[in-house]
Amino acid sequence: MENKWEYDYNSLYREQPPKQQAQTGGGGHSDPNQPPVWEMPFAPQKPKKHWVRKAVAGVAALAVVVGVGAGSGYMGYQLAARNSGNGNGTVLYQSVERTPTSTGTTEGMSISDVVNQVADSVVEITTEQVVRNNYFAQQIESGAGSGVIISEDGYIITNNHVIEGASNITVTLHDKTQYTATLVGTDVATDIAVLKIDATGLSAAVMGDSSTLAVGETAIAIGNPLGSLGGTVTNGIISALDRDITVEGQTMRLLQTNAAISPGNSGGGLFNGNGELIGIVNAKSGESNSEGLGFAIPINTAKQVAEDLINSGYVTGRPALGVTVVNVTDAQTAYYYGVSSLGVYIAEVNEGSGAEKAGLQAGDRIVIIDGKEVSQNSDVSGALTDKKVGDVVNLQIARDGQILSIDVELGEQSQQAQQYNNGQLQEDSSTQQNPLG
């Protein structure tokens, strides 16, 4: 059995050749003045028969969206909105009232007090996945990460990259009790996944508010580093509040901490000095010349994603431009698609979308969005990061040797599109339709 300890971020800033499918992380970043970029795996795409269709073959094409999203899970599991006591199916999170100290701050617990309070809410996650080796023989690949219990009846939040592709997921509680977990939903865009175990009376984490954090506040990370050291505690501070990190075309706005983070910590909790969950750990830098560079998904983002996955099966209110794009990065790829310039091209315009109504066409090259230059897929999603459904964005596009200015009203991404982006739907080869909308 080959081990794959969750997701390897050791080459966060290093150049690596492209892969068909990443089993452990990698990525390239050679310009110190640009934000770090690393790889996240994407589902393989099927080839198309002509330029518009084949634009998603060989080079990853994706629906241009922003915000958060997810599908309804794998293994045929469908979750109905559950009655949690308030009639709308929303998970009831643990909460407490804090009494300010004489100094006016509520951050007065010792680290050991915090750990005693929250340790039972952090779990170990191990996975098994069937893969083919270089000789095309099947073998079992194992992985490990962390997770945080968010409800007393067994909902657990973790990272998408921890469980991606897994055929078997095991959750180990702090007391070493083990459960087989079902995947409720997952979101590539924010690297969030929700699991469910058949248990009650669990110790759920107390939710904090990441919007009230300040640089310098206490940060305590608890997780399963190296896949074998469950319950490990490291501490530090919040180093930054809104680092934009681009991961294989997905731009994430993350908290930065100097608490020690190691492979296996992914999906674990980042807590404040009151024992409140403020983030879900998802990345670290393994650059030999760097220390104390860990990242976490703000809990306000993670909580909203989790709620939508549980209650709706996908994330509602995610803006969508209404097109599928392909990134042409070299002369060979440009020749393959029959274009003369490098850049981001529209491969397909979704029927009924704001893009179609505005007159965008397959083959258009996106040059600028709202004054921001576009040279790769991540620039498109990055330009839409703070947008909402109904907002209007201005695109400068190149078509037939001319630059055109087109205003597009953003729509809402469908559940089907989110499932496709998460690799949960495959193209229908009989109709050659790309299921994005």
Options 161, 187, 353, 414, the catalytic residue: 161
Cα–Cα distance for residue pair 197/437, rounded to 1 Å: 32
- Quick check: 365 and 345 in contact, CB under 8 A? yes
φ and ψ at residue 421, rounded to 5 degrees: -65, -30
- Quick check: 63 and 320 in contact, CB under 8 A? yes
Give 9-33 as a 3 state SS string.
CCCCCCCCCCCCCCCCCCCCCCCCC
Dig out the tokens for 339 from the structure.
Answer: 């274009």
Written as one letter, the residue type at 170 is: T
- Quick check: 161 and 191 in contact, CB under 8 A? yes
Backbone φ/ψ region at 23: left (φ over 0), alpha (ψ -120 to 50), beta: alpha
Task: For residue 29, indicate whether it is catalytic.
Answer: no
Q: Which residues contact 297 (CB under 8 A, 6 or more apart)?
A: 190, 191, 192, 252, 254, 255, 279, 280, 282
DSSP assignments along 246-295, one per residue: EETTEEEEEEEE-S---TT-TT-EEE-TTSEEEEEEEEE---TT--S-EE
- Strand 138-149 and strand 155-158: the pairing is antiparallel
Task: For residue 191, indicate whether it is catalytic.
Answer: yes
Written as one letter, the residue type at 18 is: P
Options 191, 308, 364, 379, the catalytic residue: 191
- Quick check: 14 and 29 in contact, CB under 8 A? yes
Options 72, 146, 266, 353, the catalytic residue: 266
* Beta bridge mates, 405: 396
Q: Which residue is listed with tokens 């009230």?
A: 212
- Quick check: 263 and 225 in contact, CB under 8 A? yes
DSSP assignments along 66-119, one per residue: -S------STT---PPP--SSSS-----B-------TTS-S----HHHHHHHHG
Task: For residue 174, indicate whether it is catalytic.
Answer: no
Measured between its terminal Cα atoms, the distance across the chain in Å is 40
- Quick check: 148 and 277 in contact, CB under 8 A? yes
- Strand 218-223 and strand 232-247: the pairing is antiparallel
Could you list the active site residues? 161, 191, 266
